[in-house]
């Protein structure tokens, strides 16, 4: 049974943590691995408890699918076994005599391997628990959990030991409830907060880390805080406003039991908005708030100024990012390096960016950079301007295309993770890049640390056809400001309009290529209007954001009330909002040159979408990207979109309609007085949707983390030009259409982590052009079709985490050049491949970062 296993696992975890704390002072040679193990165990402990609690609370759900219960039992049993191995190894390690250096080295290596094994197992398998929790809670009407985990500190940090100790002394004072970490942008406030959380996590029962940004959606922040602190409280209440939400939260926290432990809330990157103070939980024992801010907020109990790095610490950081070897450091001219370090004001962010820009550069480049920075510092007195001027030298070294792409990031919401695929889609459409070319530019900018690029899932077996759905981008707000400054100094190709800005005049808009409008409550009160005489002829990209509530009388989004103009030359529209429904603006039908449409809902629940104009208005539309939208699968399109080539659906709720598409008869026929409907009972399902005629030119469909998708419409199989079909992390998908073999041009089929799919249709053997097949994480796939051997064009197959039974016919896959497998599947495939070098063994690894 699961419950005894989870209890045993929790007991071992507690015991191990206690043993490590007792012995780490006397076994210094094992300190590093002991600390890593302890850190992992502390992270794992609440997750093990959640498994037990979840099973108790949702037993009636699991009874409907006994197979899932068995999967969890197997995983928990394996976890328990690994914990026992860790416990035994730790006890053996502390008995090793410290004088026996050979034995010490052996056990240190064993501890390292055991740590890695446990970490990989946890990150790979706990995903199933998350699926079941989100599926159950969504059924109950609760939004999917969007975690607020502490961010990972940079790969190298210096000068944080003393500040962390000083923060501890201040925050744990009884009279201090709210402590501020203050300093210039880029001085390491967030890094210091993350390091602090890492050091004190064993002293707190819960830590909630909330990135605030310049224009925060406070109601969303309170919702996250509620889910973090009251995760066992059931369905999230409906809040009227921030005050109502905080009152309810404080009311519930009165029941907080002190024996649970202390709680730390981190409000990261707080600007001057006084409303943010409402998020602070005051006058409640055991609750502490840490705030990172550039200014000194008057509602802080105490503040801590981040100290400058020492010269040697700053030089060490610079050398690391400039990739100077020890020999290179000795040969470098100390005076030049010190000039650059001082010019960077010893700020970690500047040292990282400037250091990376000077990588592999000669002495002349160091001299040029040092001169530029020194000149700028002499002419500008404001510290913020000084640091921006210093950073400008890193942008000067970019190519023209790289600089344009760097500036494009101001089109996306600040202080949030950006999906790399969305950025790459834009560059493909308006920058003339290929998909791989766009990926290369992303990597170039990341190597220079102008952006941070990271994967939601460590893909050790990367390949050209794997896709980029797991790739995310973040950008420091100081670098975003730098991108904005750089954009303003160039042609007026990007126009960013915040909710407090006045209507731009013709001079500002005449050359605008990218327009960003931030939609908020300001529009409700002011009825922001544009002069229709403003020339929008040069606009090729329009970005609209509405992070705060903006509702018409019926509660639905109606942007036309506030933005009446048309943008006939816009090529990209990015619409950001946070609400349960969205009606697209009517001027969209006038955007004849539109190539890319991105509709992204920033709230935690999927939004109803309406108002997509007819295809005759968007005759050049080539790519559509929908994020967190509730819609009938592929039925958003009611008319043929003749040029649409790519459709992406991410975190969407897929639902079935009684009929698709739905027509509003009163609007189409306002004068009609009589209607006659004749129904003929045919074999066709009421959900039949003629996708081939609606999307005749589509070549790629991407469906990722979509809930409710059990089956694809059969008509998908008749799309004539479909080359890539990607259905990933769709845990409700039961089966593929039987007629999938009719996709005669399909080259890439990704079915990663579709955990409910039990089999593949036999007709998959008819996909003669299929080159890449990804079945990784399809843990319940029982067997591969007997006809698999007929896929003579198949070159790569990924079967990590997929232990499906293999038919003998896989020996006939003569075109196969790579089988991506893990330890278990390698053993299964080995007898069926002629050349062992075809087996590319990697560890299966899945992360839960997407929940953040």
Residue 505 pLDDT grade (very low, low, confident, very high; cuts 50, 70, 90): very low
List the 607-610 sheet strands across, edge first: 581-583, 607-610, 629-632, 653-655
Residue 806 pLDDT grade (very low, low, confident, very high; cuts 50, 70, 90): very high
CA-based nearest residue to 631, from 610, 658, 604, 600: 610
DSSP string, 767-833: -TT--EEE-TT-TT--B--GGGGG-TT--EEE-TT--PBPPGGGGG-TT--EEEE-HHHHHHHGGG-
pLDDT at 513 over 70: no
- pLDDT at position 233: 58
- Provide the token pair at 410: 């101001």
Q: Measured on CA atoms in the order 683, 688, 693, 696, is the torsion positive or negative?
A: negative
- pLDDT at position 71: 53
Residue 5 pLDDT grade (very low, low, confident, very high; cuts 50, 70, 90): low
pLDDT at 618 over 50: yes
- What is d(CA 31, CA 28) in angstroms, rounded to the nearest whole number? 5
**Strand segments (E) across 71-188:** 178-182
Higher local confidence (pLDDT), 152 or 168: 168
- pLDDT at position 69: 47
Q: What is the dihedral of CA 476, 479, 481, 483, to 10 degrees?
A: -130
- pLDDT at position 586: 75
- What is d(CA 748, CA 774) in angstroms, rounded to the nearest whole number? 8
pLDDT at 253 over 60: yes
In what helix (H) or strand (E) does residue 207 lie, and over which residues does it extend? strand 204-213
- pLDDT at position 381: 74
Question: Who's near 291: CB < 8 A, 6+ residues apart?
Answer: 178, 179, 180, 181, 266, 267, 270, 297, 300
For residues 621 and 594, is the Cβ–Cβ distance under 8 A? yes
Task: State if pTM tops 0.75.
Answer: no
State the residue for tokens 């539109």: 594
Three-class SS state of 348: helix
Q: What is the mean pLDDT of residues 644-659?
A: 78
Three-class SS state of 7: helix
Q: How many other C-beta atoms are found inside a 10 Å radius of the C-beta of residue 250?
A: 13
- pLDDT at position 555: 40
Give 88: exposed, middle or buried? Use CB within 10 Å, 0-12, 13-18, 19+. Answer: exposed
Per residue in 414-436, pLDDT tens? 878 889 999 999 999 988 899 89
* φ, ψ of residue 788 in degrees (nearest 5): -55, -30
Higher local confidence (pLDDT), 100 or 689: 100
- pLDDT at position 386: 86
Higher local confidence (pLDDT), 471 or 664: 471
Range 604-620 burial, b when 16+ CB lie within 10 A, else e = bbbbbbebbbebeebee
Per residue in 124-140, pLDDT tens? 554 444 333 333 333 33
Q: How many other C-beta atoms are found inside a 10 Å radius of the C-beta of residue 505?
A: 10
Q: What is the mean pLDDT of residues 765-779?
A: 92
Range of lowest pLDDT (18-27, 106-115, 751-760, 837-846): 18-27
For residues 323 and 359, is the Cβ–Cβ distance under 8 A? yes
pLDDT at 623 over 50: yes
Of all residues in the chain, the percent with pLDDT exceeding 70 is 73
pLDDT at 98 over 80: no
Q: What is the mean pLDDT of residues 789-801?
A: 92
- Provide the token pair at 173: 């004072």
For residues 781 and 775, is the Cβ–Cβ distance under 8 A? yes
- Provide the token pair at 449: 């640390």
Residue 692 pLDDT grade (very low, low, confident, very high; cuts 50, 70, 90): confident
Higher local confidence (pLDDT), 63 or 329: 329
Higher local confidence (pLDDT), 70 or 341: 341
Q: What is the mean pLDDT of residues 361-379?
A: 83
Range 694-731 burial, b when 16+ CB lie within 10 A, else e = bbeebbbbbbbbbbbbebbbbbbbbbebbbbbbbbbbb
- pLDDT at position 112: 81
- What is d(CA 77, CA 233) in angstroms, rounded to the nearest whole number? 28
- What is d(CA 493, CA 503) in angstroms, rounded to the nearest whole number? 17
- pLDDT at position 608: 85
Per residue in 453-474, pLDDT tens? 887 655 555 555 566 777 899 9
Per residue in 524-543, pLDDT tens? 222 333 333 333 333 345 55
Q: How many other C-beta atoms are found inside a 10 Å radius of the C-beta of residue 656?
A: 14
- What is d(CA 731, CA 710) in angstroms, rounded to the nearest whole number? 8
Q: What is the mean pLDDT of residues 597-617?
A: 81
- pLDDT at position 347: 92
Range of lowest pLDDT (511-520, 576-585, 618-627, 695-704): 511-520
List the 287-293 sheet strands across, edge first: 204-213, 262-270, 287-293, 178-182, 302-305
Per residue in 627-636, pLDDT tens? 998 876 555 5
- pLDDT at position 49: 65
- pLDDT at position 641: 79
pLDDT at 611 over 90: no
Per residue in 568-584, pLDDT tens? 677 888 888 777 777 77
Mean per-residue pLDDT of the chain:
75
pLDDT at 761 over 90: yes
In what helix (H) or strand (E) does residue 748 lie, and over which residues does it extend? strand 748-750
- pLDDT at position 756: 87
Per residue in 699-758, pLDDT tens? 999 999 888 888 888 888 988 899 999 999 898 899 999 999 999 999 999 999 898 898
Q: How many other C-beta atoms are found inside a 10 Å radius of the C-beta of residue 316?
A: 17
Three-class SS state of 29: helix
Per residue in 185-228, pLDDT tens? 899 999 999 999 988 888 888 888 988 877 777 888 888 888 78
Question: Who's near 368: CB < 8 A, 6+ residues apart?
Answer: none
């Amino acid at each position: 049974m699961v419950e005894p296993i989870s209890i045993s696992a929790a007991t071992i975890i507690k015991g191990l943590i206690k043993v490590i704390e007792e012995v780490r002072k006397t076994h210094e040679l094992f300190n590093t691995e002991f600390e890593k193990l302890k850190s992992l165990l502390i992270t794992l402990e609440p997750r093990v408890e959640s498994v037990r609690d979840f099973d108790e609370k949702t037993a009636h759900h699991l009874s409907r699918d006994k197979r899932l219960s068995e999967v969890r039992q197997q995983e928990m049993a394996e976890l328990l076994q690994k914990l026992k191995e860790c416990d035994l190894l730790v006890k053996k390690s502390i008995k090793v005599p410290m004088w026996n250096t050979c034995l010490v080295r052996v056990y240190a290596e064993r501890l390292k391997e055991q740590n890695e094994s446990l970490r990989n197992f946890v990150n790979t398998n706990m995903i199933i628990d998350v699926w079941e929790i989100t599926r159950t809670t969504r059924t109950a009407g609760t939004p999917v959990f969007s975690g607020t985990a502490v961010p990972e500190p940079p790969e190298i940090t210096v000068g944080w030991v003393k500040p962390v100790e000083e923060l501890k002394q201040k925050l744990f004072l009884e009279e201090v409830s709210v402590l501020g970490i203050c300093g210039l942008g880029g001085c390491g406030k967030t890094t210091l907060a993350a390091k602090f959380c890492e050091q004190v996590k064993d002293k707190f029962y819960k830590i909630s880390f909330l990135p605030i940004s310049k224009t925060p959606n406070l109601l969303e922040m309170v919702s996250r805080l509620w889910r973090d602190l009251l995760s066992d409280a059931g369905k999230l209440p409906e809040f009227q406003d921030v005050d109502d939400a905080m009152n309810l939260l404080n009311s519930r926290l009165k029941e907080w039991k002190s024996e649970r432990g202390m709680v730390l809330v981190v409000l990261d990157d707080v600007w001057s908005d006084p409303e943010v103070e409402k998020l602070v939980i005051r006058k409640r024992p055991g609750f502490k708030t840490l705030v990172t801010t550039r200014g000194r907020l008057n509602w802080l109990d105490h503040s801590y100024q981040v100290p400058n790095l020492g010269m040697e610490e700053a030089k060490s950081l610079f050398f690391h990012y400039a990739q100077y070897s020890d020999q290179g450091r000795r040969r470098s001219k100390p005076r030049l390096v010190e000039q650059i370090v001082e010019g960077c004001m010893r700020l970690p962010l500047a040292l990282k960016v400037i250091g990376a820009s000077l990588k592999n550069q000669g002495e002349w480049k160091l001299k040029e950079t040092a001169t530029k920075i020194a000149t700028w510092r002499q002419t500008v007195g404001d510290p913020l301007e000084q640091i921006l001027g210093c950073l400008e030298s890193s942008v000067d070294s970019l190519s023209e295309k790289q600089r344009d792409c760097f500036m494009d990031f101001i089109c996306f919401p600040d202080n949030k993770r950006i999906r790399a695929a969305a950025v790459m889609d834009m560059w493909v459409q308006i920058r003339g890049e290929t998909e791989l070319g766009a990926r290369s530019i992303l990597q170039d900018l990341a190597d220079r640390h102008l952006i941070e690029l990271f994967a939601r899932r460590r893909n050790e077996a990367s390949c050209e056809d794997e896709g980029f759905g797991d790739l995310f981008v973040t950008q420091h707000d100081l670098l975003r400001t730098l991108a904005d400054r750089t954009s303003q100094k160039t042609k007026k190709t990007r126009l960013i309009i915040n909710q407090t800005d006045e209507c731009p005049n013709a001079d500002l808009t005449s050359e605008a290529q990218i327009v960003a409008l931030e939609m908020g409550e300001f529009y409700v009160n002011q009825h922001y209007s544009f002069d229709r005489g403003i020339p929008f002829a040069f606009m090729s990209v329009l970005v609209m954001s509405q992070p705060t509530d903006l509702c018409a009388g019926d509660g639905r989004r109606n942007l036309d009330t506030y933005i009446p103009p048309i943008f006939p030359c816009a090529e990209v529209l990015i619409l950001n909002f946070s609400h349960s429904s969205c009606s697209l603006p009517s001027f969209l039908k006038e955007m004849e040159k539109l190539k890319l449409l991105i509709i992204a809902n920033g709230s935690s629940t999927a939004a109803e979408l309406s108002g997509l104009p007819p295809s005759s208005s968007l005759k050049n539309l080539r790519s559509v990207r929908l994020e967190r939208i509730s819609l009938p699968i592929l039925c958003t399109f009611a008319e043929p979109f003749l040029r649409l080539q790519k459709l992406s659906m991410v975190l969407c709720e897929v639902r079935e309609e009684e009929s698709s598409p739905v027509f509003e008869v009163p609007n189409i026929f306002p004068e009609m007085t009589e209607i006659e409907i004749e129904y003929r009972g045919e074999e066709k399902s009421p959900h039949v949707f003629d996708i081939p005629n609606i999307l005749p030119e589509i070549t790629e469909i991407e469906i990722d983390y979509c809930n409710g998708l059990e089956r694809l419409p059969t008509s998908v199989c008749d799309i004539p030009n479909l080359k890539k079909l990607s259905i990933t992390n769709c845990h409700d998908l039961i089966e593929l259409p039987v007629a999938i073999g009719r996709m005669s041009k399909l080259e890439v089929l990704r079915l990663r982590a579709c955990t409910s799919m039990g089999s593949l249709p036999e007709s998959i053997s008819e996909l003669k052009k299929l080159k890449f097949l990804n079945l990784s994480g399809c843990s319940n796939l029982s067997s591969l079709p007997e006809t698999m051997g007929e896929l003579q064009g198949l070159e790569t197959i990924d079967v990590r985490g997929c232990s499906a039974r293999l038919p003998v016919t896989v020996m006939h896959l003569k075109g196969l050049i790579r089988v991506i497998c893990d330890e278990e599947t390698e053993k299964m495939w080995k007898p069926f491949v002629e050349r062992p070098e075809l087996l590319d063994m990697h560890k299966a690894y899945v992360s839960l970062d997407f929940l953040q």
